[in-house]
Amino acid sequence: MQQELRKLPSVEKVLQNREIQNLFEDKGRNLVVESVRRVLEETRQDITNGHPCPPLAVLLERVLLDASTRWRPTLRKVINATGVILHTNLGRAPLSDETRAALELAAKGYSNLEYELHLGQRGSRYAHAEELLCHLTGAGGGLLVNNNAGAVLLVLAALARGKEVVISRGQLIEIGGGFRIPEVMAQSGVRLVEVGTTNRTHIEDYEEAIGDETELLMHVHHSNFRVLGFAEQAALSELVDLAQQHALLVVDDLGSGALLDTASFGLAHEPMVQESIAQGADLVCFSGDKLLGGPQAGIIVGRADLVASLRRHPLTRALRVDKTTIAGIQATLLHYLRQEATEKVPIWQMISLGLEETRERAESWASNLKEFGVGAEVVPGLSTVGGGSLPGETLPTQLVALQVPSPDELAHRLRTGEPAVVGRIEGGRFILDPRTVLPSEELELQAALEQALQG
């Protein structure tokens, strides 16, 4: 072992190699030195464990690989061929061309984020989206925060801290990542009063729970699951009537944030923000990156006086959004104002994509793949909305099913390729769903498949 350890070159000897020195300009000398030391230490451990010292050429290759890959960005582009439109693990809603351009414009230089250009004085960052939110939903005021959990936290902390909030047991849901509505609510400092049962809660249950310390009635959309069979929940309109009788507030947490009627696309009806406002909810909270189709944000709309009080609350500062998010939400909302969301917002393009269109794209893909001797068949299938929206709802699609020796190996090659491609495996075949692949990504997908299949 000692003889093998003596063969190990010094750090300085490795750094004298011309190929290693060529990395200095691109990676920086310090990072290259770190790579050399790391590779030599790993090799020293291998020798200690009984392996021979590799030739210098092998060590140099390891250093070059380490220095080239260790510090590259970990957040990479992924082509989503799973058929899950709002894929939480893959970043949920892709943004429209106009939205991406708005983000870039806000990021690349200065902007009037908090400056009134016509007055020459300080303004509010929240004004850029508020008028659009009010116009589209019928609300009196609107506010952006960093996500919907933050929106709920802010509303409860500002309006009901130290007071009682009544909520149905059937609406104490857990959202993605293990975050639970009761835990988020508890952090706001309110006292939860649970009423009814998991499957059935009546308006009388709320009425019986109202006391001197009650401040607010909370309504939470299930979003990511359904309760079927012997089930019932009090309607939002019933809560509004009851709250008005007792001078209480009603807050509706919709989660998904639909501004379009999903039923018109062959899906179940997802509660819409403007419907909640019309039914009299004092405040409505929803997400920016779900069915709205914009960047991640929490959005609060409702009574102008309540929104104004939220804007002044200290927690708003901790939850505030940056200029790029504001620009992105504004650009996304403009698509709805112009009634072009189904043509411009990617998630609505995917939802509205017809079965014949998916078939044409699938047949084109399958034809290209057959040129490589791969068994590729077009088969019927189902796409899902995902992202905690429309649970159990599916859209008919046409899939490309690849018959390969090892679907798992192909899936791994595609995931680790450039760009990464994520599909799914069903019935021993690797599956691609055209619905969630943007038309602009098709050539990249074809190249990635060719590379993975040849590898």
For residue 224, pLDDT over 90 is answered with no
pLDDT for the residue 104:
97
Q: Is 339 left (phi over 0), alpha (psi -120 to 50) or beta?
A: left
For residue 230, pLDDT over 80 is answered with no
pLDDT for the residue 239:
96
pLDDT for the residue 141:
98
In whole angstroms, what separates CA 128 from the centre of its chain? 23
Span 118-163, pLDDT tens digits:
999 999 999 999 999 999 999 999 999 999 999 999 999 999 999 9
For residue 429, pLDDT over 80 is answered with yes
pLDDT for the residue 176:
61
pLDDT for the residue 20:
87
Decide if 223 contacts 256 (C-beta within 8 A).
yes
Alpha carbon separation from 104 to 107, 109, 113 (Å, rounded): 5, 9, 14
Considering only residues 24 and 279, tell me which one the structure prediction assigns the higher pLDDT: 279
Beta bridge partners of 145: 298
Tell me, what amino acid is at 22? N
The helix or strand, by DSSP H or E, that contains position 159, with its residue range, turns out to be helix 148-160
Nearest-angstrom CA–CA distance, 320 and 298: 10
Where, residue-wise, is CATH 3.90.1150.180 in the chain?
78-88+348-454
| 95-344 belongs to CATH 1.10.10.10 | no
Q: Per-residue pLDDT averaged across 309-328, rounded?
A: 96
pLDDT for the residue 4:
81
- Which residues lie closer than 8 Å to 268 by C-beta, 6 or more apart? 262, 390, 393
Nearest-angstrom CA–CA distance, 301 and 282: 8
Beta bridge partners of 435: none
Residue linked to tokens 């698509």 = 335
Q: Which of 180, 247, 251, 260 is CA-nearest to residue 218? A: 251
Least confident of 221-230, 239-248, 336-345: 221-230
Share of the chain above pLDDT 70, in %: 97
Considering only residues 388 and 303, tell me which one the structure prediction assigns the higher pLDDT: 303
Least confident of 230-244, 282-296, 302-316: 230-244
Decide if 287 contacts 295 (C-beta within 8 A).
no
Nearest-angstrom CA–CA distance, 329 and 327: 6
For residue 436, pLDDT over 70 is answered with yes
Where, residue-wise, is CATH 3.40.640.10 in the chain?
95-344
For residue 276, pLDDT over 70 is answered with yes
Beta bridge partners of 429: 426
Token digits for 132? 């659009």
For residue 181, pLDDT over 80 is answered with no
State the DSSP code for 228. Answer: -
Span 286-296, pLDDT tens digits:
999 999 999 99
Instruction: Map residue 413 onto helix, strand or coil.
Output: helix
For residue 389, pLDDT over 90 is answered with no
Nearest-angstrom CA–CA distance, 266 and 394: 9
Query: End-to-end CA distance of the chain, in Å?
Result: 37
Span 51-107, pLDDT tens digits:
999 999 999 899 888 888 888 888 999 999 999 999 999 999 999 999 999 999 999
Instruction: List the beta strands (DSSP E) in 100-205.
Output: 115-116, 121-122, 141-145, 164-168, 191-195
- Which residues lie closer than 8 Å to 371 by C-beta, 6 or more apart? none
pLDDT for the residue 178:
61
pLDDT for the residue 386:
87
pLDDT band at 304 (very low <50, low <70, confident <90, very high): very high
pTM of the predicted model over 0.75: yes
Residue linked to tokens 């794209």 = 361
State the DSSP code for 180. Answer: B
Span 16-40, pLDDT tens digits:
988 888 888 888 899 889 999 999 9
Rounded to 5 degrees, φ, ψ at 305 are -70, -35
Looking at CATH, the fold of the domain delimited by 78-88+348-454 is given as Aspartate Aminotransferase, domain 1 (3.90.1150)
Instruction: Map residue 291 onto helix, strand or coil.
Output: coil
pLDDT for the residue 25:
83
Nearest-angstrom CA–CA distance, 244 and 201: 19
Decide if 316 contacts 310 (C-beta within 8 A).
yes
Mean pLDDT of the residues in the chain: 92
Instruction: Map residue 109 onto helix, strand or coil.
Output: coil
Q: Which of 295, 196, 306, 326 is CA-nearest to residue 249? A: 306
Share of the chain above pLDDT 90, in %: 75
For residue 365, pLDDT over 90 is answered with yes
